[in-house]
Structure 1
Amino acid sequence: MFEPLITHIQKFVALNTEEQALLTAYLKYEELSKKKYLLSEGDICNAQYFVVEGCIRMYFIKENGVEQIVQFGIDNWWISDYTSFTLHNPSQFYLQTVQRSKVITLTQAKQDELLDKLPKLERYFRRIYQRAYAAAQTRLIFFTDLSGEEKYHHFASRFPDFVQRIPQYMLASYLGFTPEFLSKVRAKHH
């Protein structure tokens, strides 16, 4: 059950059998039902989650009461509220499964202990955080520079399977559209 994560880590750092066994002792594997909350607004985020299979959305509630999705965690991707995780501030976000998901949890306390014992994992996590930060920066350009229609096409061409997998209203929320606008854009191109 930890195989997908070990495979992912091995792309960045080599782990022998002993190190793999040590690593898995710090992890928790869970199969979660659809719509399960891993984090709610106001809670301190004390873990990060590796999605083995499925999808987790990260969203906040805007002033007008509308959900704004800021990120999806899909297969082989880590997701967490890193602001709350790092600074121990109450979170402004919700983390919730979009579909049945298989998730590996690493709590902050366990991660600190694990990195003491397996310092080479620092390199793995550094690479993961760099990629997450790069994705966040790309998203800024994407959101400030592209028209609504361009956003949809850019996203749909990069993640075609994903666009099929998630409910349309969630895709609309992520792209900053109303579901009606998304329907119009899609209808035009089908």
Structure 2
Amino acid sequence: MYESLLAHLARYVTLTEAEATLLCSYLRVQTLSRKQHLLREGQVCGANYFVLRGCLRTYLVSEKGTEQTILFGIENWWLTDYASLDTGQPSQFHIQAVEATEVVVFGQDVQEEVFRQLPQLERYFRLVLQRAAAAALFRIKFLYSMSGEERYRHFSHAWPGFVQRVPQYMLASFLGFTPEFLSKIRAKVEHS
């Protein structure tokens, strides 16, 4: 059940079989149907989520009622609202399944105990968070320095299967433009 998570951990740290068994005893798996929410704005986030299968998105709703997709999480990615998780304050975001999804739930209530018993996991999460922070900075750079067409071309080149996997309105929101603009860019790119 936790094989892909353990394989991901092994890329960064070493766990003995006993340590892996101990870690797994603190985890649980949650299955979500398409469009089901893992977290809604106003709720306190209580866990880190590792995607075993499927796709999640983090989004916010503007004052005008428009959804703005901030992040996606696919297989072997972690997703959470760290601000809410760390402070215990209500989240300002939603986390929703884009498709049928299965996640490992690493509850905030057990994390300190797990880190005390398996200190190498703190190193693992530091390395994963460093990569996530770098990716977030790159995304900000690409939103401010690339044209819409350049953003689409870059994203579709870096994640070709992903472009077909998520609904067009979510992809457009993530890339920073309207679905209509995305349609125009796609048509232009496909005919060039």
The question of a shared fold, defined as TM-score above 0.5 by the shorter chain, is answered with: yes
Match of 2:55 in 1: 55
**AA of the residue aligned to 2:73:** G
What CA deviation, in whole Å up to 9, does each residue of 1:85-122 have, x standing for no partner? 11222111000000001110101111111101111111
> Counterpart of 1:180 in 2: which secondary structure?
helix
CA RMSD of aligned residues (A): 0.8
Give unmatched runs, 5+ long, in structure 1.
Answer: none
Match of residue 67 from structure 2: 67
Q: Distance in 2 between matches of 1:22 and 1:89?
A: 29
CA distance in 2, matches of 1:12, 1:65: 41
Structure 1 Cα separation of the partners of residues 29 and 46 of structure 2: 16
Q: What's the offset of the Cα at 1:36?
A: 1.1
What runs of 5+ residues in structure 2 fail to find an aligned partner? Answer: none
Correspondences of 1:130-149 after superposition (within 5 Å)? 130-149=130-149
Which secondary structure state, in structure 1, belongs to the residue aligned with residue 156 of structure 2? helix
Other structure's SS at 1:189 match: helix
* Corresponding residue number in structure 2 for 1:155: 155
Q: Residue 43 of structure 1 aligns with which residue?
A: 43
TM-score normalised by length of structure 1: 0.98
Separation in 1, partners of 2:154, 2:83: 28
Match of residue 81 from structure 1: 81
Query: 2:184 maps to what in 1?
Result: 184
| 1:92-107 equivalent positions in 2, closer than 5 A | 92-107=92-107
2:4 is matched with which residue?
4
Determine the C-alpha separation between the residues in 2 that align with 1:49 and 1:151.
27
Q: Percent identity at matched positions?
A: 52
SS of the equivalent of 1:116 reads helix
Q: What amino acid is the match of 1:188?
A: K
2:14, 2:134 → 1: CA distance?
24
Question: 2:118 & 2:180 partners in 1: Cα distance?
Answer: 50
Displaced runs of 4+ in structure 1, greater than 2 A?
none
Following TM superposition, by how much is the alpha carbon of 1:179 offset from its aligned partner in structure 2, in angstroms?
0.5
Partners of 1:84 and 1:76 in 2: CA distance: 22
Letter in 2 for 1:13: V
* Aligned-residue offset at 1:29: 1.0
Q: Secondary structure at the match of 2:92?
A: coil
Counterparts of 2:186 and 2:45, CA distance in 1: 36
Q: CA deviation at 1:30?
A: 2.0
User: Deviation at 1:50?
Assistant: 0.2
Length-normalised TM-score, structure 2 = 0.97
SS of alignment partner, residue 184 of structure 2: helix
What is the aligned partner in structure 2 of residue 170 from structure 1? 170
Corresponding position of 1:28: 28
